[in-house]
Structure 1
Amino acid sequence: MAQDPAAGVLERLRKLEKCANTLAIEQMKAQHRAQAVQQKRAVIQQLRSKRDALRTRVTAQSAGPMLDILADTQAASTPQLDQVDVSTTLLKERIETLHHILEAYHLTGISAEVRELNSAFTFCINTAYEGTYLDSYYLDIQTQHPRKIICHNIPAFIPVEQMACTYLQLDLRRFMDVLRDALNAYTSRRYQVEQLQKLHSMFLTGQVQRNAAYNLLKFRYPILCGDMEQDVQVKLVYKDLACYLPTGVTLTYTGADAESTDAKLECHRQLFENVELHRVFDSLKLQEEVAISS
């Protein structure tokens, strides 16, 4: 029995309508993801601006180089025997002012104390991420020229000797800032990976592969493609040790319908580039684009 031509046309129209509806939904999802990325990017930029403003204010309010302040604190802490009460009061005020200045330095994550009078200082760099204290690193530095690092507990992949050759002799503060930024970025990357494995391990296929500096990460996660689940392979590269977010994101999908997932993966790539690693999966989970790994 011959098929009714009208019925065939109607069937094709229904399929076209279904495809059009699917495309419209995907476009709406893509717009939603793009807006979410823009909002998160704006928040990140705002937080970075506040951080930079705080550092600038602390630097502007600091009355002289850190070494001079420490030396003054050490000297002022030893009163002379023939001081009268007025001199003692002024001395106490001077010590209090110097300690306040050192507290201002501490806000930037760096603190210091005299190790040997006019010879060496112990510097402490405290690292933190979003208010969570992570690690502390210490350096004993001989401050008399030529300056040199006596000992430290900085990880081996941080090029502290190279940084010292570039900055230490000319600008101690610059040296400490560069070192602090590298350590904070490293502990931040490590923290993000730890939180990813702790909070979203059910969405990962296997473990996260990483190097010691956490600036090369590889892992896989499954996405939903219709009724099927297919793995996406992720490679994240951080171009230097001071990067908190990846500068290179490669997503590889080997499913049969790879072309149809290009738009979806592009949105995923933007998330990885602009959002902290453990929060990427918060967004993907809300959009129901990631499957629970078996």
Structure 2
Amino acid sequence: MKAQHRAQVVQQKTAVIQRLRSKRDALRTRVTAQSAGPMLDILADTQAALTPQLDQVDVSTTLLKERVETLQDILEAYHLTGISAKVRELNSAFTFCINTAYEGSYLDSYYLDIQTQHPRKIICHNIPAFIPVEQMARTYLELDLRRFMDLLCDALNAYTSRRYQVEQLQELHSMFLTGQVQRNAAYNLLKFRYPILCGDMEQDVQVKLVYKDLACYLPTGVTLTCTDVESMDAKLECHRQLFEKVGLHRVFDSFKLQEEVAISSRNLSTAQSSASSSCY
């Protein structure tokens, strides 16, 4: 029964992830279908169209207004995918904003000022140093801004999502961890330990999660080690599959439902000491 329930939980979480990603891809398809040219050209057209000429009442003004509305709709489609833009300097540069989110929660916003004149270049930005934004720019910025922004958006969303998962793990499940989560700046290498129940015995499981691609939300490599490997092999394999398919904090939600993890002895001692102190 526990194995069946575990499989159902994994299937439900996987379905939610796939549905959200399908919505994101559909929005990007909408952007592609509506765009009449490169993203910067659309922005430039919008800026050029928003002039006092709109006050003139004639046929050309009506057509111009329709063009502005179309361009604004396209920019709104970009905004729905997490990317927005505004003019920084007239006909010279634009400020792009990438809003990151995970599980319906907005996380961080990142900004880039991009010069639109050829050769196009990034003037300034607040992208984390471990994301190779300059390398991406050399490859895509001049020829395909949309591709550049999509790759950057994916990398930033994945980074903030990994960080969010770790934060939620430590906030919601710290009692089930032995010590702190060790991680690097990009949160694409994580190490931690948690106690697992094996009959009446408690064993510490050492976890190493590796995310080989900066755009990965879930680990591409999961290593679980335990002192008593043979007797724990089947259970550890089930845990490994959960780490591969479900967000980090959701894995421990599943563990708690299955009562497969124990409160860390260190945390239990702390809790008992606090309880004893409160009695006096």
Q: Is the deviation greater in 220-229 or in 91-100?
A: 91-100
Matches of 1:81 and 1:95, distance apart in 2: 10
Normalising by structure 2, report the TM-score.
Answer: 0.88
Residue 62 of structure 1: CA displacement? 2.9
Q: Is the deviation greater in 122-131 or in 260-269?
A: 122-131
Q: Deviations over 1:147-193 (max 9, x none)?
A: 11111110011111111111112211111111111001000000111
Q: Is the 8 A contact 2:54 2:61 kept in 1?
A: no
Aligned to 1:69: 42
Residue 198 of structure 1: CA displacement? 0.8
Residue 44 of structure 1: CA displacement? 2.5
Q: Is the 8 A contact 1:71 1:117 kept in 2?
A: no
Matches of 1:73 and 1:52, distance apart in 2: 25
Q: Is the deviation greater in 136-145 or in 207-216?
A: 136-145
Aligned to 1:85: 58
Identify if the C-alpha distance between structure 1 residues 222 and 81 changes in structure 2 by more than 3 Å, giving closer, same or farther: closer
Aligned to 1:264: 235
Residue 106 of structure 1: CA displacement? 0.5
Where does the alignment leave 5 or more consecutive residues of structure 2 unmatched? Answer: 264-280
Residue 47 of structure 1: CA displacement? 2.9
Percent identity reads 92
Matches of 2:41 and 2:134, distance apart in 1: 24
Q: Is the 8 A contact 2:112 2:122 kept in 1?
A: yes
Identify if the C-alpha distance between structure 1 residues 230 and 81 changes in structure 2 by more than 3 Å, giving closer, same or farther: closer
> What does 1:111-126 align with in structure 2 at a 5 Å threshold?
111-126=84-99
Residue 89 of structure 1: CA displacement? 4.5
Aligned to 2:271: none
Identify if the C-alpha distance between structure 1 residues 53 and 228 changes in structure 2 by more than 3 Å, giving closer, same or farther: same
Q: Deviations over 1:189-211 (max 9, x none)?
A: 00111111111111111111100
Q: Is the deviation greater in 34-43 or in 119-128?
A: 34-43
Residue 142 of structure 1: CA displacement? 1.2
Q: Deviations over 1:7-29 (max 9, x none)?
A: xxxxxxxxxxxxxxxxxxxxx43
Q: CA RMSD in A?
A: 1.9
Identify if the C-alpha distance between structure 1 residues 251 and 82 changes in structure 2 by more than 3 Å, giving closer, same or farther: closer
Residue 87 of structure 1: CA displacement? 4.8
Identify if the C-alpha distance between structure 1 residues 170 and 89 changes in structure 2 by more than 3 Å, giving closer, same or farther: closer
Residue 226 of structure 1: CA displacement? 1.2
Residue 31 of structure 1: CA displacement? 4.3
Q: Is the 8 A contact 1:79 1:88 kept in 2?
A: no
Q: Is the 8 A contact 1:34 1:267 kept in 2?
A: no
Q: Is the deviation greater in 167-176 or in 272-281?
A: 167-176
Q: Is the 8 A contact 1:209 1:217 kept in 2?
A: yes
Matches of 2:83 and 2:152, distance apart in 1: 10
Matches of 1:88 and 1:167, distance apart in 2: 36
Aligned to 1:151: 124
Larger radius of gyration: 1
Aligned to 1:211: 184
Where does the alignment leave 5 or more consecutive residues of structure 1 unmatched? Answer: 1-27
Q: Deviations over 1:38-96 (max 9, x none)?
A: 44333323332232122212321234322122112211211239823555454444333
Q: Is the 8 A contact 2:10 2:242 kept in 1?
A: yes
Residue 215 of structure 1: CA displacement? 0.2
